[in-house]
Amino acid sequence: MRATALFLVAASLLLGGCAQTLLTVDRVESPYRDLSSLNKGDIVHLPTGRRLSEEELLEYLSSYRVVYVGETHDNVYDHQVELTILKGLAERFPGQVVLGLEMLRRPYQEKVDAYLAGELSEREFVRTAWSPSWGPNSWRYYRDILRFVRDEGIPVLALNAGRDLTRAASRAPNLDELDEDLRKRLPKDMDLADPYHRAFIRAIFGGHSEGTNRSEAFYRVQVIWDETMAETAARYLRSPEGRGKRLVVFAGGNHVRYGFGMPRRLFRRVPEAYVIVDPLTIEIPEEKQEKVLMDVNPPDLPLRPADVYWAVGYDDLEDERVMLGVRIEKAEGGGARVLGVMPDSPAAKAGIQEGDVIVSVDGEPVEELFDLTFQVGQHKPGDRGPVVVVRNGERRELQVEYDVVKHGGER
């Protein structure tokens, strides 16, 4: 008995010492690897610290029916990661992959289907579905992804709640005050009591310039957002057309990170195995840090933020966003009336004048203001193309050389 007791004491001391040694690594996200040593392109499995090649990552992801990829919406490298994963899984499972997008709202699902079927042009899709869902200037970041799924016949789910619902929910004192029609569109069995999710979202809200006086409304909208996306995905996975399909979800990192946004809520409805990939931004150019970095003090959470980190840099498309350099309004009868021209802008150099009505760009008619901004947005700095204006009742074709224009006319 005495020998046994001594052994147990010794074992306890030994185990206590080992535990203390392991606990010197204080980040639950990666107990086996120092994340500060990551280089761009490194892919790390967080639970084990093992570095993965792209091929190994795709093989690993193939074990899961639901794959989440978090993103920074305006980081081109995050979208490269997404496209790499989507292409890899589509190649491994032809005809079995479906893409779910936070960036598309449920009321526009028919438009999405029409675009994928070739019944709606890219311009009309952006005008009637993408722009009202996510804004016209964001299309450039997702264009390659949407073109790929269209060309490969991959279904796309418009996951997000309608803008009218989230706007009303942000303004109402509580959800019971919503109109009856809007209340019917709320996701069923919403969970507003997750303490980790609430603490995390509250910390994010504190980093916004609006302050915290509307933090509860902000949180309520985030829950509607996450629950709607989960409900939409669950309906599809349970449907006949979703049987056997593998769902890949692209959403903002904070909607999937730690699992308590969309992943936990989808699992509650459809308990399928899932995995979270988080592109980790480890390098931001100094001139873009003020734009990208938020003053947020996140809470300590006993949760791993993702299963896999993919280390990336940061770059946006603002340095490639060309403009004509004009102020415009919709002209009576169609076209874009020029209210002002910025000095030294592409428009000024091409001879566009105040009072001109722009009626076509690159041979494409301009009927709405969207038509002008969309067509100009297809260009890169240095491109040239015709712009037709009507001046004093006379049509004139002018040649524009596109360039980036900053406020005040600085290029």
Whether residues 166 and 285 share a domain: the answer is yes
Structure tokens at 329: 């309004």
Q: Which residue has the higher pLDDT, 21 or 42?
A: 42
Element (H or E) spanning 373, and its range? helix 369-376
Domain boundary among 317, 335, 359: 317
Whether residues 294 and 360 share a domain: the answer is no
Total number of domains constituting the chain: 2
Whether residues 301 and 326 share a domain: the answer is no
What is the model's pLDDT at position 103? 97
Domain boundary among 292, 317, 342: 317
In angstroms, the Cα distances linking 285 to 135, 267, 290, 322, 380 are 25, 38, 10, 21, 22
- The answer to whether position 267 is within a domain reads yes
Q: How confident is the model at residue 25 (pLDDT cuts 50, 70, 90)?
A: very low
Q: Are 43 and 52 in contact (CB under 8 A)?
A: yes
Whether residues 67 and 146 share a domain: the answer is yes
Task: Give 189: exposed, middle or buried? Use CB within 10 Å, 0-12, 13-18, 19+.
Answer: exposed
Q: Which is nearest to 99 in space by CA: 245, 244, 240?
A: 245
The Cα 62–Cα 81 span in angstroms is 16
Q: What's the chain's Rg over C-alpha atoms?
A: 25
- The answer to whether position 254 is within a domain reads yes
The Cα 215–Cα 207 span in angstroms is 11
Q: Which is nearest to 79 in space by CA: 7, 163, 139?
A: 139
CATH of the domain at 393: 2.30.42.10
Whether residues 293 and 331 share a domain: the answer is no
- Assess whether pLDDT exceeds 90 at residue 329: yes
- Assess whether pLDDT exceeds 70 at residue 211: no
The Cα 160–Cα 262 span in angstroms is 11
pLDDT digits (tens, 9 = 90+) for 192-201: 999 999 999 8
pLDDT digits (tens, 9 = 90+) for 8-23: 444 443 444 443 333 4
pLDDT digits (tens, 9 = 90+) for 43-56: 999 999 999 999 99
Whether residues 347 and 304 share a domain: the answer is no
pLDDT digits (tens, 9 = 90+) for 118-134: 999 999 999 999 999 99
Q: Which is nearest to 251 in space by CA: 133, 100, 74?
A: 100
Whether residues 248 and 232 share a domain: the answer is yes
Whether residues 98 and 216 share a domain: the answer is yes
Whether residues 167 and 214 share a domain: the answer is yes
Q: Which is nearest to 166 in space by CA: 113, 102, 111?
A: 102
What is the model's pLDDT at position 295? 67
CATH of the domain at 163: 3.40.50.11550
Q: Are 145 and 82 in contact (CB under 8 A)?
A: yes
Whether residues 84 and 48 share a domain: the answer is yes
Whether residues 171 and 219 share a domain: the answer is yes
Residues 6+ apart with CB under 8 A from 399: 350, 384, 385, 386, 387
Q: Which residue has the higher pLDDT, 18 or 217?
A: 217
Range of the domain at 267: 35-317
Q: How confident is the model at residue 29 (pLDDT cuts 50, 70, 90)?
A: confident
